[in-house]
Structure 1
């Protein structure tokens, strides 16, 4: 079998990048709802158009656009309807809070489920993969935001009868998560605890709003 030449591989990569850039440009023209992620870019590693879900945001799609986020003590829930091939991700900072904000788990989960149902998914067919809840700030034992977030999302999904098919939660690691909403494939990369200043500041802000109160499984790819 003849292997492709270096120039042929470069041409193919350039073609993929060009197609990805065109898709990103098209995605940026679409009007987005309040709280819907809108930071679109071309990911050179995965050679795919991507969207980054920031704290308080969500994204639902029925295509294999790469949905990405980075987590410290926050949680990202990835829900998927296998039959409808629709999936979505959220990113919340605290279990509960005042007002309708995707930064709080109770609102973020309801928002994600409702948006998926509007796109044709059925709650009875949804399955979940959950990520995050890391204790990324040393010495924060009295207010463990990551543990509270993790317990909340597990309890919420149990109450809603949405099975958790896989998870990578808690411990001390920040995480980068990628999700393909059409296929339901999720990938997670545990990041080094160092050089995560932005995540630490984000988690400290969440911890200041938190009040103290008296793992793995399924199929997740590492990258």
Structure 2
């Protein structure tokens, strides 16, 4: 396990004698936009505040709390502005499709949500860089639809079109993955999980495979932990 060297913000205090409010409590109390992750907790391993990004969600921040997600055939794109030192992660299930209520589950919308939020928070497109994870074939016998491969091809093509360099990636193969991203430093960590078809990931990938339309013919470091 690599040393993540995360930092934790000091507790915020109001007037002298008033109860202090931790960063975690403040994060939980804030209102959230549609699709913005809201599952906050204290991560005992990294010893810092954390937020879990579920399928269809994204999260952007400028401090080094840890953003976490777990992937099967889904993709998580971690974008970071090297100048503003702000970053974010999304988690999408399919390249495109769907309606407004679940738009974050589709790559074409999920990427726009993430980039737009980063820019609202002070990031610039010209200084963004990406780390990409997921796209694994975690369900045996699902080669025909190639959900993970299609997701991977989509995000790589999207980032190329948007001129956002992919400085590192861990994609495809048969592994589920746990991804951790520190949005202030841009540090990403990935853990390849045993390809034993964890129930939750299998259920998630089966939902994706049932909704997908079969296709017509036609630099930075990542730490393993």
The match for 1:47 is 47
Question: How many pairs were matched up?
Answer: 204
The match for 1:9 is none
The match for 2:91 is 91
Contact 2:95/2:150 (<8 A) preserved: yes
Deviation by residue 1:108-167 (Cα, 9 ceiling, x = unmatched): 001100000000000111000000000000001110100000000000000000000000
Moved over 6 A (4+): none
Q: Measure the CA separation in 2 of the matches of 1:94 and 1:69.
A: 16
Alpha-carbon RMSD across the aligned residues, in angstroms, is 1.5
Q: 1:139 aligns with which of 117, 135, 141?
A: 141
Q: What TM-score, normalized by structure 1, do the two folds share? A: 0.88
Deviation by residue 1:76-100 (Cα, 9 ceiling, x = unmatched): 0000001000100000000001323
**Structure 1 residue 22 displacement after superposition:** 3.2
The match for 1:191 is 193
Gaps of 5+ in 2: 1-7, 12-20
The match for 1:157 is 159
**Structure 1 residue 30 displacement after superposition:** 0.7
**Structure 1 residue 195 displacement after superposition:** 5.4
Deviation by residue 1:50-100 (Cα, 9 ceiling, x = unmatched): 000000000000110100000000000000001000100000000001323
Matched residue SS, 2:78? strand
The match for 1:67 is 67
Q: Measure the CA separation in 2 of the matches of 1:212 and 1:48.
A: 42
Matched residue SS, 2:158? helix
Larger proportion of helix: 1
Q: Measure the CA separation in 2 of the matches of 1:99 and 1:161.
A: 27
Gaps of 5+ in 1: 1-15
Q: Measure the CA separation in 2 of the matches of 1:52 and 1:137.
A: 23
Matched residue SS, 1:102? helix
Q: Measure the CA separation in 2 of the matches of 1:160 and 1:198.
A: 33
Q: Do structure 1's residue 81 and structure 2's residue 84 form an aligned pair? A: no
The match for 2:18 is none
Q: Measure the CA separation in 2 of the matches of 1:220 and 1:208.
A: 32
The match for 1:200 is 202
Contact 2:138/2:197 (<8 A) preserved: no
Contact 2:49/2:66 (<8 A) preserved: yes
